[in-house]
């Protein structure tokens, strides 16, 4: 046997074996495989994309204007605290994209400006209008906040979806403020939408039970009547208070909303939240247990010690989940959110709390649910096209190049086998464009063999022995084959770098197919010719 043939045969055998091992989890027979296989060998195969197995396609837009408003609102609260600490009698309030600080004594302007310069880098002291100091956003701050809001929203949504358990989601920026989300195989689109779109701003607010308005509010309203109640009571709500609603759920489902008069300013937010887990409460109902970090635990202990016998509302996105009475000081940084949850609702709430809050609301621009029947049709059409293309190529090569054509067909089969094995090893997502890439690879897989066979024919016509003609044919075609594959690979790389989801899928299968084709054409077919020449002196080659 020619030197090196055995090594190449072993190499091909090993790659085929690995491909089969990696591809097996993608087959229907994998469920019947023994448990030890699933524990020690690959158990994740090729994942079907949204267009093949159905699912959700969402385009969401981040409300970046609201993000700027939120940042200014927080700055107003923080500045108010600083002014109180410094015993400066002034009240800040947001005025559009500025902060107006109403001063009792204009002589405090310098002190206020120094606090702003030291603690609030995004603001700069502007003009004084009467007894009001105007603080403006610095140049470029609004753009920075908006870009940061979109990036944070993208990361938060990615974290939530990861914890939600969707396999191979596609989450990426689209334009300057939109986020494209594809969830292949998602069967409960409304639940997924609730998890993704919830702002998850967690706040703790004290109820204002001393105001007469609190006692006059109706005990409950029907869902959908909240706006009417707010319009009716808007003029009666004391300054600094607001009306929020708690969902009241009976056994048959949500039946009413309970209005509460709460302090508008939160005594604590969820910024110090460290973890959120679903636990079972005293009456066997699911609830969400939250844990604060060290600073948050100290703050929560102080708040509860200062407000014993008062009610503390746990508010998420302006909806009250529970409003328990504080019986005693609560140390240890732990609290429970109970709200007549189902287990799924409790899990979803824990997910959004762990993943963090969105910096601003996100609006659904496009929401398309792709049915699985469309995916099955696509799979059937793709498989049919692949079979027809493969059979035509195999028949042409076998007829035109005879035995050499059969060897090229062997390389084609080897190419497809290694390609699907590589896709499974990478746990790649197969989409309809990906199937198109596989079909294109099938066509390309014989091109390099055609180049090599034509060079071998030229050598045979010059009267060279078969073995020398085969070696010379491969040597002369080598650079041409490599050049053609490298140029195609560069094109696929550009498609991957600058394309979107489906184009990337096409680029991945094309790149893998071209690379594997180079291996099968220069190593796979050559080793077959070498095996033929090693066993006997071949006087004539069927080509």
pLDDT of residue 261: 94
pLDDT of residue 253: 56
The chain-wide mean pLDDT, for the chain, equals 83
Q: How far apart are CA 8 and CA 11, in angstroms?
A: 5
**Tokens of residue 221, six digits:** 């309203």
Lowest model confidence (mean pLDDT) among 301-305, 350-354, 520-524: 350-354
pLDDT of residue 403: 86
At residue 264's C-alpha, the angle toward residues 260 and 269, to 5°, is 105
pLDDT of residue 259: 92
Burial class (CB in 10 A: 0-12, 13-18, 19+), 498: exposed
Lowest model confidence (mean pLDDT) among 340-344, 467-471, 492-496: 340-344
Q: How far apart are CA 408 and CA 543, in angstroms?
A: 11
Contacts of 379 (CB under 8 A, 6+ apart): 48, 52
Question: Could you identify the residue written with the tokens 């700055």?
Answer: 75
116: nearest Cα among 127, 124, 106: 124
**Beta carbons of 5 and 527 less than 8 angstroms apart:** yes
Q: How far is CA 347 from CA 204, 271, 320, 322, in A?
A: 21, 20, 18, 17
* Digit-coded pLDDT (tens) for 358-384: 888 888 888 887 765 555 676 677 778
| DSSP string of 25-68, one letter each residue | GGSGGGGGS-HHHHHHS----PEE-HHHH-EEEEEEEE-HHHHH
Q: Is the pLDDT of residue 457 over 60?
A: yes
Q: How far apart are CA 183 and CA 53, in angstroms?
A: 10
| DSSP string of 424-462, one letter each residue | HHTTPEE-HHHHHHHHHHHHHHTHHHHHHHHHHHHHHHT
Query: CA-based Rg of the chain, rounded to a whole angstrom?
Result: 34
Question: Could you identify the residue written with the tokens 């429970």?
Answer: 336
Contacts of 342 (CB under 8 A, 6+ apart): 286
* Digit-coded pLDDT (tens) for 145-203: 898 889 888 888 888 887 776 766 788 888 888 998 888 877 777 888 888 877 777 88
pLDDT of residue 61: 92
User: How crowded is residue 40: how many other Cβ atoms within 10 Å of its Cβ?
Assistant: 8
Burial class (CB in 10 A: 0-12, 13-18, 19+), 140: exposed
Q: Is the pLDDT of residue 501 over 70?
A: no
* Digit-coded pLDDT (tens) for 193-238: 888 877 777 888 999 988 888 888 888 888 778 888 888 888 889 8
- Average pLDDT of the residues in 42-49: 76
Contacts of 393 (CB under 8 A, 6+ apart): 409, 412, 442, 443, 445, 446
**Tokens of residue 504, six digits:** 């990337």
Burial class (CB in 10 A: 0-12, 13-18, 19+), 137: buried
- Average pLDDT of the residues in 349-353: 79
pLDDT of residue 536: 64
- Average pLDDT of the residues in 24-33: 79
Of residues 1 and 356, more confidently modeled: 356
- Average pLDDT of the residues in 243-266: 80
**Beta carbons of 401 and 543 less than 8 angstroms apart:** yes
Lowest model confidence (mean pLDDT) among 65-74, 316-325, 409-418, 501-510: 501-510
151: nearest Cα among 168, 166, 172, 137: 172
pLDDT of residue 2: 54
**Beta carbons of 351 and 160 less than 8 angstroms apart:** yes
* Digit-coded pLDDT (tens) for 90-134: 888 888 888 899 988 888 888 888 888 888 888 888 778 888 888
pLDDT of residue 262: 93
Question: Could you identify the residue written with the tokens 């604590």?
Answer: 268
Lowest model confidence (mean pLDDT) among 231-235, 427-431, 447-451: 427-431
Q: Is the pLDDT of residue 39 over 80?
A: no
Q: Is the pLDDT of residue 244 over 90?
A: yes
pLDDT of residue 243: 93
Q: Is the pLDDT of residue 483 over 80?
A: yes
pLDDT of residue 372: 58
């Amino acid at each position: 046997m020619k030197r090196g043939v055995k090594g190449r045969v072993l190499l091909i055998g090993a790659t085929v074996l690995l491909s089969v091992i990696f591809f097996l989890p993608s087959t229907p027979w994998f469920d019947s495989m023994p448990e030890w296989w699933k524990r020690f060998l690959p158990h994740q195969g090729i994942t079907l994309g949204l267009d093949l197995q159905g699912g959700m396609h969402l385009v969401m837009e981040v409300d970046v204007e609201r993000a700027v408003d939120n940042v200014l609102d927080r700055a107003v609260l923080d500045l108010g605290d600083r002014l109180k600490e410094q015993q400066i009698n002034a009240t800040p309030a947001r005025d559009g994209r500025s902060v107006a600080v109403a001063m009792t004594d204009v002589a405090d302007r310098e002190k206020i400006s120094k606090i702003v310069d030291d603690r609030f880098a995004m603001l700069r002291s502007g003009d004084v209008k009467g007894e009001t100091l105007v603080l403006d956003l610095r140049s470029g701050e609004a753009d920075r906040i908006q870009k940061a809001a979109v990036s944070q929203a993208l990361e938060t949504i990615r974290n939530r979806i990861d914890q939600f358990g969707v396999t191979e989601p596609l989450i990426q920026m689209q334009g300057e403020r939109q986020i494209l989300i594809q969830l292949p195989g998602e069967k409960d689109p409304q639940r997924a939408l609730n998890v993704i779109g919830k702002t998850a701003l967690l706040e703790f607010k004290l109820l204002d039970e001393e105001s007469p308005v609190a006692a006059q509010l109706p005990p409950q309203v029907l869902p959908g009547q909240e706006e009417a109640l707010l319009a009716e009571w808007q003029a009666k709500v004391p300054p600094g208070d607001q009306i929020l609603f708690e969902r009241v759920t009976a056994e048959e489902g949500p039946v009413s909303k309970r209005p509460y008069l709460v302090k508008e300013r939160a005594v604590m937010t969820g910024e110090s939240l460290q973890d959120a887990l679903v636990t079972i409460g005293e009456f066997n109902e699911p609830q969400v247990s939250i844990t604060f970090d060290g600073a948050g635990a100290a703050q929560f202990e102080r708040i509860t010690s200062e407000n014993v016998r008062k009610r503390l509302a746990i508010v998420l996105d302006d909806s009250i989940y529970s409003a328990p009475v504080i019986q005693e000081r609560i140390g240890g940084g732990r609290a429970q959110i109970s709200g007549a949850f189902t287990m799924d609702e409790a899990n979803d709430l824990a997910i959004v709390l762990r993943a963090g809050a969105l910096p601003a609301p996100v609006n659904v621009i496009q929401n398309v649910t792709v049915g699985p029947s469309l995916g099955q049709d696509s799979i059937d059409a793709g498989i049919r096209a692949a079979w027809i293309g493969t059979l035509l190529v195999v028949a042409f090569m076998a007829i035109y190049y005879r035995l050499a054509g059969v060897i090229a067909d062997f390389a084609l089969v080897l190419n497809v086998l290694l390609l699907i094995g590589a896709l499974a090893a990478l746990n790649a997502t197969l989409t309809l464009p990906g199937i198109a890439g596989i079909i294109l690879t099938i066509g390309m897989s014989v091109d390099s063999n055609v180049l090599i066979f034509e060079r071998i024919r030229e050598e045979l016509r010059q009267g060279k022995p078969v073995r020398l003609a085969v070696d010379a044919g491969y040597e002369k075609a080598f650079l041409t084959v490599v050049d053609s594959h490298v140029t195609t690979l560069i094109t696929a790389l550009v498609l991957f770098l600058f394309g979107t989801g489906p184009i990337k899928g096409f680029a991945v299968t094309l790149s893998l197919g071209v690379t594997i084709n180079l291996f099968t054409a220069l190593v796979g077919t050559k080793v077959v010719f070498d095996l033929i020449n090693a066993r006997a002196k071949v006087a004539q080659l069927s080509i």
